[in-house]
Amino acid sequence: MTTSLLSAQNLSVRFGGVLAVNNVSFDVREGEVFTLIGPNGAGKTTVFNLISRIYTPTQGTIDYAGPQGPIRLTDQPPHQIASLGIARTFQNIELFEHATVLHNLLVGRHTHSRSNLLSEIFFTPAVRRAEIEAREQAERVIDFLDLQHYRDTMIAGLPYGVRKVVELARALCTQPRLLLLDEPSSGLNVEETDDMAFWIQDIKHELGITVLMVEHDMSLVSKVSDRVLAMNQGEVLAMGTPREVQGDPGVIEAYLGSVDDVSSLRREVA
Amino acid sequence: MLFQVLQLLISGIAQGCIYGLIALGFVLIYKATETVSFAQGELMMLGAFGGLACMTFLGFPFWISVISAIAAMAVFGMAVERLVIRPILGQPAFSIVMLTIGIGYVARGAVTMIPAIGTETHTLAVPYKDMIWKFGGNEMGIGALVVNVEQVVVIVCTALLCALLFVMFRYSKLGIAMQASSQNQLAAYYMGIPVRALNGLVWGLAAAVAAIAGLLLAPITFIHANMGFIGLKAFPAAVVGGFGSLPGAIIGGLIIGVVESFSGFYLPEGFKDIAAYIVVLLMLMVKPNGLFGEKLRKKV
Amino acid sequence: MRFIFKTDYDQDIRLAKHGGHVFWYGLLCVLLAAAPVLLSEYLLAQLTFILIYGIVGLGLMLLAGFTGLFSIGHAAFLGVGAYTQAVFTGMGVPFPIALALAALLSAAVGIVVGLPALRVKGIYLGIATLSFGFIVEEAFARWESVTGGNAGMSVGQVNIFGWVADSGTSFYFVCLVIAVLCTLACINLLRTSTGRAFVAIRDSEISAQSMGIHLAYYKTLSFAISAALAGIGGALYAHQIRFLSPDQFNIIQSIDLLLMVVIGGLGSIHGAFLGAIFLIGLPQAISAVKDYLPEAIAQAPGLKAVIYGAVLIAFVLFEPLGLYGRWLKVRTYLQLFPFYRKGMFKRQKSFQKSDRLK
């Protein structure tokens, strides 16, 4: 019996006159890969921003099965989200430009550090041990994503594809239970997208992390997703397995415009 | 009593106009290039000295001096932009602020270095100097409302200048081009906007406005090398109005000027100097983006 | 050319990353310890000033260089520390306790000044700190019962439970010890999660928040620590100068402090001290050169301002990484000789994007 890790009910958010998200409800089950698809401007990233509490919904709630029991996410301040086990990547990459890759990953370990200010100023042995522990965890993630080569490079000098991977690595360093990936394959070429697909599958199977992602690349979506939610103009169009949703007429019309060219775009589920 | 209040009001508004004009310069530059220029105060000082130089050394009559000083400062502003500001666009905002502070230092120091003239206070021989108007009261002038014509000139000129700028920005392509280049320079380039020429023009305009402020202020506070420090009070004016708003700059200046004027009279000593700063702190607590500022969020 | 082969996490964490570090910094310590013997009394006093300004610079570097919060009124904290030290020393409180009080009071003022930082960013924060700077300066002048107002206030000597630092040398050592401790404290802070949190806030607030960093707490902490360091520097400054007056802590002093960290190199600990060397050294250099300049220029009162401004402009235009950046380039050149490539430190040309949307 798979439990619901995150569930959004009647989520709506309004920015001035724009209703960016309108009455969206869905639930993400533990251990699955759940994807949000939809044309640009559909409100997918806005939903992410609602979950990570960058925005506050004008209506609706988000419930999360926290480590100590169910929690109303919409009551939490933004900086608590990471310690609840929710990590995210950003569509336009929000890395720390003037720091090395390792440094970025170590920031990801922030919620796991227990040292207080005074012991940090004196750099007590306990702080030293905590530092070594943090680095060991970061190294695990570096190994997982093959970032050894870039460990000591400044972000400002890295190509786009590598930055996307570092963004993912940083999110993994927080040891999340739920990982929000915002367009993980945007800007990546075919090989990098394939790598990303393998990593998402490894994250699901090896690390046991639930993944909620926004994606445009349909081949990636079909390859890794268990369930898909299609959105358009802030509203839910369809929800189900990738096949079901891709075959839904409403989705086809929103995405592609006409029914005719669908057959060439339908992909086989891996 | 009423006349007292009126007099305080008028001098507050006049002083506020000066703050507003300098703040206008900041906001012009900020709207166009999103750089904050700490050099506006010193540009004002240079403008005043320029007028002085034209009148006393070149012997120009008053109006010619005024126009030459303004024109000279406009050219100076464009030159500063071309030589010093343009190479560093794209660097973090803080570096550019430090650069403008450096420009201010150089300007102030250079003027102080001019033998005999730099270290002294001068007067500007304006045609309306020391004139006052009296309203009411008896023939002896007792009980009358005394209005300093110099202050009235400041207010009227500021109003005219604002009207002129408003017309220019509303009905010309320049205003839209400026906003485009301030939000995303690269895109503005692609759209064919001559961003670099535009920046130069804006700096020239801001310098001209500062020069006008200096010339207006000169009869009231006299011309001296440390005049530029008045420019520091213009920052609270710009913040109170909202940093991206041109009318806001003027209104912010007026608020600061009036508050200062009244606190100088009614509050204990020392409050006049910091009144502007208390006002800006209150504003930042209540409405962080100022009266007319816009609240923008980054879209992630 | 040195290649460091890392086999241990400790190598990454510890302060001296390789033998060369140990050697050069050890030499520096020896030279600093021997300074009273090597330098004249006047130069020793200047070195003491460098240490004092270096401590203040550490604070401002932490705030502006590492956390990205710009404070244009930092002299206010210097003043709070200085006056607190003066008042408590005058009451007979021993030096270490007075110093601690100076640091704590400055930190408290720092927290208050930092409150706007929680709501506003960038230039608005700069103006807020500028405003606080003016208000605090005026407070020093008006609160005559405590500070002596514009007439000034004299400061007693360093009295550590009976041992009085009554010579230039003994006071120098007091400053040296405190400077070293402060520097170590800052370096320690920067290599742990708090320091990383500061840098995260500087580079991207939104993702820092999503990594679990409580923005309000860390911004306030940065202000508090930065103010405390400035307060400690101020306390030592009070003892060095022996006479305080409010106009020593005005906007010019604040801008001098900013000048110091910018020219030193934003974002580096070395930058604080290099900037301090520059700040104290430049007037000396100007005096030395004055003899060779024509009378009219040398005696002009505005010369210092012109040179300061010109140097600041030159650094921002040609060496934005500051003195430390220039040193890094020189060192890399020497290390990689003859393989140093001209464009190694070149910043990627960036087109200005709207700061308002950060």
Map chain C to HEC letters.
CCCCCCCCHHHHHCCCCCHHHHHHHHHHHHHHHHHHHHCCHHHHHHHHHHHHHHHHHHHHHHHHHHCCCCCCCCHHHHHHHHHHHHHHHHCCCCHHHHHHHHHHHHHHHHHHHHHHHHCCCHHHHHHHHHHHHHHHHHHHHHCHHHHCHHHCEECCCEEECCEEECCHHHHHHHHHHHHHHHHHHHHHHHCCHHHHHHHHHHHCHHHHHHCCCCHHHHHHHHHHHHHHHHHHHHHHHHHHHCEECHHHHCHHHHHHHHHHHHHHCCCCHHHHHHHHHHHHHHHHHHHHHHCCCCHHHHCCCCHHHHHHHHHHHHHHHHCCCHHHHHHHHHHHHHHHCCCCCCCCCCCCCCCCECHHHC
For chain A, the domain total comes to: 1
Whether A145 is in a domain gets the answer: no
Residue with more model confidence, C337 or A82: A82
* C-alpha to C-alpha distances, A50 to A23, A215, B287, nearest whole angstrom: 13, 17, 25
Question: Is the pLDDT reported for residue C232 higher than 60?
Answer: yes
Distance between A128 CA and the closest CA of chain C, angstroms? 8
Whether A16 is in a domain gets the answer: yes
**Averaged pLDDT score across all residues of chain A:** 88
Q: Which residues does chain B have within 8 Å of residue A92's beta carbon, measured at their own beta carbons?
A: 300
Distance between C162 CA and the closest CA of chain B, angstroms? 41
Q: What is the pLDDT of residue B86?
A: 81
The answer to whether residue C12 neighbours chain A at the CB level (below 8 Å) is: yes
Residue type, C168: G
Determine phi and psi for B89, rounding to 5 degrees. Answer: -65, 140
Whether A127 is in a domain gets the answer: no
The residue segments making up the domain with residue A202 are 4-85+176-265
Confidence of residue B295 (pLDDT cuts 50, 70, 90): low
Q: What is the pLDDT of residue C357?
A: 45
Q: What is the pLDDT of residue B300?
A: 60
CB atoms within 10 A of CB C257: 29
Q: Which of B269-278, C42-51, C207-216 has the lowest mean pLDDT?
A: B269-278
The answer to whether residue B119 neighbours chain C at the CB level (below 8 Å) is: yes
C189/A118 Cα distance (integer angstroms)? 9
**CB of B45 closer than 8 Å to CB of B227:** yes
Q: Which of B37-41, B265-269, C191-195 has the lowest mean pLDDT?
A: B265-269
SS3 assignment, position B146:
strand
Q: What is the pLDDT of residue A257?
A: 58
List residues bridging with B163 in a β-sheet: none
Confidence of residue C355 (pLDDT cuts 50, 70, 90): very low
Q: What is the pLDDT of residue A270?
A: 46
C147/B221 Cα distance (integer angstroms)? 31
Question: Is the pLDDT reported for residue A264 higher than 60?
Answer: no
Distance between A216 CA and the closest CA of chain C, angstroms? 23
Q: Which residues does chain C have within 8 Å of residue B94's beta carbon, measured at their own beta carbons?
A: 64, 70, 262, 266
Residue with more model confidence, B222 or C194: C194
Interface partners of A (3+ CB pairs, < 8 Å)? Answer: B, C
The answer to whether residue A107 neighbours chain C at the CB level (below 8 Å) is: yes
Q: What are the structure tokens assigned to C276, written together?
A: 């301090």
CATH code assigned at A16: 3.40.50.300
Q: Which residues does chain C have within 8 Å of residue A131's beta carbon, measured at their own beta carbons?
A: 9, 13, 191-192
pLDDT digits (tens, 9 = 90+) for B86-113: 888 767 778 888 999 999 999 998 888 8
pLDDT digits (tens, 9 = 90+) for B178-209: 777 767 778 888 888 888 888 888 899 999 99
Residues 6+ apart with CB under 8 A from A186: A91, A164, A216
**Chain C: residue whose CA lies nearest to A167:** C207
Q: Under an 8 A CB cutoff, do B288 and C317 touch?
A: no
Question: Is the pLDDT reported for residue C104 higher than 90?
Answer: yes
Mean pLDDT (whole number) for A79-96: 90
Burial (0-12, 13-18, 19+ Cβ within 10 Å), B216:
buried
Whether A222 is in a domain gets the answer: yes
Q: Which of A104-113, A191-200, B255-264, C346-355 has the lowest mean pLDDT?
A: C346-355
Residue with more model confidence, B92 or B27: B27
List residues bridging with B122 in a β-sheet: B223
Q: What are the structure tokens assigned to A83, written together?
A: 């310690």
Percent above pLDDT 90 for chain C: 46
Distance between B99 CA and the closest CA of chain A, angstroms? 22
Q: Which of B118-127, C79-88, C260-269 has the lowest mean pLDDT?
A: B118-127
Distance between B93 CA and the closest CA of chain A, angstroms? 16
Q: What is the pLDDT of residue C297?
A: 67
Q: What is the pLDDT of residue B113?
A: 82
Q: What is the pLDDT of residue B172?
A: 81
Interface test with C, best of A48, A90, A101, A110 (most C CBs within 10 A): A110
Q: How many CA atoms lie within 13 A of A231 on its CB side?
A: 27
pLDDT digits (tens, 9 = 90+) for B194-252: 888 888 888 999 999 999 999 888 888 888 888 888 888 899 999 898 887 788 889 99
Q: What is the pLDDT of residue C356?
A: 45
Interface test with B, best of A46, A51, A54, A56 (most B CBs within 10 A): A54
Q: Which residues does chain B have within 8 Å of residue C262's beta carbon, measured at their own beta carbons?
A: 94-95, 98
pLDDT digits (tens, 9 = 90+) for C163-190: 777 788 889 999 999 999 999 999 999 9
Q: What is the pLDDT of residue C1?
A: 59
Mean pLDDT (whole number) for C80-85: 93
The answer to whether residue A136 neighbours chain C at the CB level (below 8 Å) is: yes
Q: Which of A165-179, B5-19, C114-128 has the highest mean pLDDT?
A: A165-179
Mean pLDDT (whole number) for C255-280: 92
Distance between C285 CA and the closest CA of chain A, angstroms? 34
The answer to whether residue C199 neighbours chain B at the CB level (below 8 Å) is: no
Q: What is the pLDDT of residue C117?
A: 78
Interface test with B, best of C129, C313, C349 (most B CBs within 10 A): C313
Q: Under an 8 A CB cutoff, do B109 and C303 touch?
A: yes
Whether A197 is in a domain gets the answer: yes
Q: How many CA atoms lie within 13 A of A97 on its CB side?
A: 14
Parse chain C into domains and list their residue ranges.
18-250
Of B115, B270, B299, the CB nearest to C138: B270
Of C131, C251, C312, the CB nearest to B280: C131
Whether A117 is in a domain gets the answer: no
Question: Is the pLDDT reported for residue B265 higher than 70?
Answer: yes
**Chain C: residue whose CA lies nearest to A107:** C196
Whether A249 is in a domain gets the answer: yes
pLDDT digits (tens, 9 = 90+) for A216-251: 888 899 899 999 999 988 899 899 998 888 888 888
Q: Which of A169-183, C21-35, C332-346 has the highest mean pLDDT?
A: A169-183
Q: Concatenate the DSSP letters of all residues of chain A into one string.
A: -PPEEEEEEEEEEEETTEEEEEEEEEEEETT-EEEEE-STTSSHHHHHHHHTTSS--SEEEEEEEETTEEEEGGGS-GGGTGGGTEEE--TT----TTSBHHHHHHHHTGGG----HHHHHHT-HHHHHHHHHHHHHHHHHHHHHT-GGGTTSBGGGS-HHHHHHHHHHHHHHT--SEEEEESTTTT--HHHHHHHHHHHHHHHHTS--EEEEE---HHHHHHH-SEEEEEETTEEEEEE-HHHHHH-HHHHHHHHSSSTTHHHH-----
**CB of C218 closer than 8 Å to CB of C63:** no
**Averaged pLDDT score across all residues of chain C:** 86
Residue with more model confidence, A214 or B247: A214
Q: Which residues does chain C have within 8 Å of residue A101's beta carbon, measured at their own beta carbons?
A: none
Whether A72 is in a domain gets the answer: yes
SS3 assignment, position B231:
helix
Q: Under an 8 A CB cutoff, do B34 and C355 touch?
A: yes
Question: Is the pLDDT reported for residue A136 higher than 90?
Answer: yes
Question: Is the pLDDT reported for residue A2 higher than 50?
Answer: yes
Question: Is the pLDDT reported for residue C160 higher than 90?
Answer: no
In total, the C-beta contacts within 8 angstroms joining chain A to chain B are: 7
Q: What is the pLDDT of residue C349?
A: 52
Q: Which of A120-134, B157-171, C114-128 has the highest mean pLDDT?
A: A120-134
Question: Is the pLDDT reported for residue C286 higher than 60?
Answer: yes
Q: Concatenate the DSSP letters of all residues of A105-124 into one string.
A: HHHHTGGG----HHHHHHT-
Distance between C57 CA and the closest CA of chain B, angstroms? 16
Q: What is the pLDDT of residue A262?
A: 54
Q: What is the pLDDT of residue B94?
A: 83
How long is chain C?
A: 358
Q: Which residues does chain B have within 8 Å of residue A49's beta carbon, measured at their own beta carbons?
A: 300
Interface partners of C (3+ CB pairs, < 8 Å)? Answer: A, B
Q: What is the pLDDT of residue B11?
A: 87
The answer to whether residue C267 neighbours chain A at the CB level (below 8 Å) is: yes
**Chain B: residue whose CA lies nearest to A49:** B300
Distance between A230 CA and the closest CA of chain C, angstroms? 25
